[in-house]
Chains A and B, each alone.
Chain A
């Protein structure tokens, strides 16, 4: 039973355009969500998070949107840069400590 799903294994975006990565969840008890970025042979790097009491959080080129009624969140990267090419993981947590992870989306930024 996958509680956090990233349905797109990969996404290709032109440099300078907007990248939109999606994530769906099933557990309404999740109260915070995080996005991590991972390069090959490195550990995941924390990017941005959002609490369930918000619907948007912005940090520079990265914005996360949360739609609680649809149990859906998305990460927007604009403008996309070559260094953004990586695997992006969505993770969700409740009042407990454990994070539940999606399988990741590989983002490829084309020059």
Chain B
């Protein structure tokens, strides 16, 4: 089953550390999206990437957060100097050439102590 894969599934960091979240899209998909879900809330769009390009990062905080989708390898969402408010579930989704239906990975649950 070549679904969307995310790792790690759970990540614990102390304040000030860096968090790296990885996402491998579904086979054949070249569009990747990152979302964040805070407790009791819906999913909030963060960033949309295609291979080697950031298409839209309008939902990403201006500081400490960055994302990439290199030519080879998974997409990476990087959070520097994490704070407690970064604790959330981070979901990655991918889609094919017609980016209407997005397929989600299982998410990474980040806990900042």
Residues of A near any B CB (own CB < 8 A): 32, 34, 36, 41-46, 49, 89, 93, 97-104
Candidates B31, B44, B95, B106; contact of A43 at CB < 8 Å: B106
Q: Classify the secondary structure of B's interface with A.
A: strand
Chain A interface SS verdict (over half): strand
Q: How far is the CA of A97 from the CA of B31 in the complex (A)?
A: 10
Q: How far, in angstroms, from A55 to B23 measured CA to CA in the complex? A: 35
Interface centre among A44, A49, A93, A102 (most CB of B within 10 A): A44
List 6 A-B pairs, Cβ < 8 Å: A41-B107, A43-B105, A97-B56, A98-B56, A102-B42, A104-B42
Which residues of A have CB within 8 Å of B93? 43
Cα distance A79–B48 when bound, in Å? Answer: 37
User: Is the Cβ of A49 less than 8 Å from the Cβ of B100?
Assistant: yes
Taking a contact as CB atoms under 8 Å apart, the answer to whether A97 and B55 are in contact is yes
Knowing A43-B105, A46-B101, say if A97 contacts B48 (CB, 8 Å).
yes
Q: Which of B6, B43, B99 is close to A97, meaning CB atoms less than 8 Å apart?
A: B99
- Chain B residues closer than 8 Å to A103, beta-carbon distance: 41-42
